[in-house]
Structure 1
Amino acid sequence: MTSARTTLIDLHTTPYYHCMARCVRRAYLCGEDQLTGASYEHRKPWVVDRIKHLASIFAIDVCAYAVMSNHYHTILHINTKRAESWNSDEVLLRWSQLFDGPLLVQRYLSGGSLGETERLRVMDYAEEYRSRLLSLSWFMRCLNEHLARKANEEDGCKGRFWEGRFKSQALVDEAAVLSCMAYVDLNPVRAGIAKTPETSDFTSIQERIEIYHESQEQPEHLKPLQLSNTKTGKIPFALSDYFQLVDWAGRAVRDDKRGAISNDLPPILHRLGIDADAWLQTLQPGKAAFVHAIGGVGALQEYALKLGKKWLHGMSAGKRVFGV
């Protein structure tokens, strides 16, 4: 049974979420239509550019992304501290980059004269917009509606472009964040359209690798991983560990390597208590074991209680892959 989106987003449990949207029509979001021969590869930059643009406006960090032929994945982090640091004017200016807003707000931003009651109403709008700039639903709405309009205009048609609302999963512990980021970044390798992470076009792992090789830095619009012992504002594991894990997993899930696991396992698997065999099984196509949340069984049980449930789909997989 489906659950309301508001019941699935619990920032007291986790600020990390995996979101995915899939195209409804046979005509692709991106890629090449084998029936007509039409290529839609030029649309992949649309998706990446829009994600970057929205990340610069919202209080939402992008941890990972992958753009495929008829769907895309993102790992998003809701940054409440950033939103709380904005004053009302900054909130209004950010929101106005996406929507014109009421005439009252437009007058305020243009320096027009307002009475006290009007100013108070503008401040109410600012707080409403602040909550929207923290909202996964608004982020995904601004992403999907923009892409749908552009694609429909190019295709010369109208109607639904996405198969439904985006799907989201809460990532309730560090192991879940690590695993889901790798799952997203390895999508082209799993699909057989790339042999290695660094050749996986339109993925965050390719961008991280290229930027790091060029400058020893991390992409500006992606939430950084740790380069030192300090964890402030960063994804809670090291960039080097993540590169090693994705490289190892990518080799293990390729068609010519499937089922073969190296004895030299990435140390981060041991530190987070992840079972390598069970974890690799979750990376195989058609092996999705989680629905609303991903994590160890203990974290999933805690998340279920906060949702008023006794059980969540995926608890047995959580115990098998991540342990307690």
Structure 2
Amino acid sequence: MNTPRQAARQRRHRRRLTLGAASALITAGVLACLVMVLPADRDGAAGAVADAPLASAQVNATAAGTTGTPTATAGPTGTATPAGSPTPTGAPTTTAARPSPTKTPRPRQKPAPAPQPGRLQSTAHQGVATAYEAGDGNGACLFGPSPDLMVAAMNTTDYQTSRACGAHVLVRASNGKSITVRITNECPLPCEPGQIDLSQQAFAQLADLVVGRIPITWSLVSPGTSEKISIRYKSGSSPHWCALQAIGHRNPVAGLEVRTAGGGWRKLERTSFNYFIAADGNGCGGAIRLTDIHGERLTIGALAVRPDVVQPTGVQFARR
């Protein structure tokens, strides 16, 4: 059995053990806190270090604005944005100033090129003459049978989408002989530019048919004639669609216009078969205006739409 003195010593010993354990727990807690705090301090230090390049980037961005050097620019969050990268939403943008329209020099407009005369209007052409069986003298121009067979077919280049139809051409051979023919047909390939395919009757006036091919020069002429121009509407024409052509003109026709229901003049499109078409009928049966390749203009009163009927006009182009 313990004495009172021994019991007191045991109590003091237990208190020392309790205080030691408590001190150990406190020390452990402090160490744990230090372990948790130290990484945060290191992150803070790293953040402080990272701030230095940011300030440098902002300085470079300011310098770039004054020198024009494409360097990094500061974004709205303070981070450097590489030049050329998309601007974040909400970031302030700068629009380059545009020069005043009154101070901006305007480019000088080039004048429109002057219209070139058609090949038919050239003074002379070099080429060759060949011969073909002309039949009744009709051809691609759709004039119908010719009163004489002094006719010819023009090469495609000089035919110019039927612009040559009705042209009178003086053809001279190298032997000095010459003849005037009227263009009523087209000579497709292998006919070459400058070539004229004469009716056999016309070729025979220049050389023997057995020769087949002779060098020539040719030029447009404006013959004397008492004939007047006539107008013909193509078969199938009506007030709703029509095609018309001029016949018996001294000089080649460059354009054909009709007076529309509204009172204005309408230029019709020319076909390769020498008719001018009003596909919607506007102007069919109205007044007609013809212009030759020299620029002379003739006005013809309204003519009824009568398909395949040759209607005289009483007018003719002047001799050139």
- TM-score range for the pair, normalised by the shorter chain length: under 0.3
Q: Which is richer in helix?
A: 1
Q: TM-score, normalised by structure 2?
A: 0.19
Higher relative contact order (CA 8 A, sep 6+): 1
Q: TM-score, normalised by structure 1?
A: 0.19
Which has more radius of gyration? 2
Q: Which is richer in strand?
A: 2
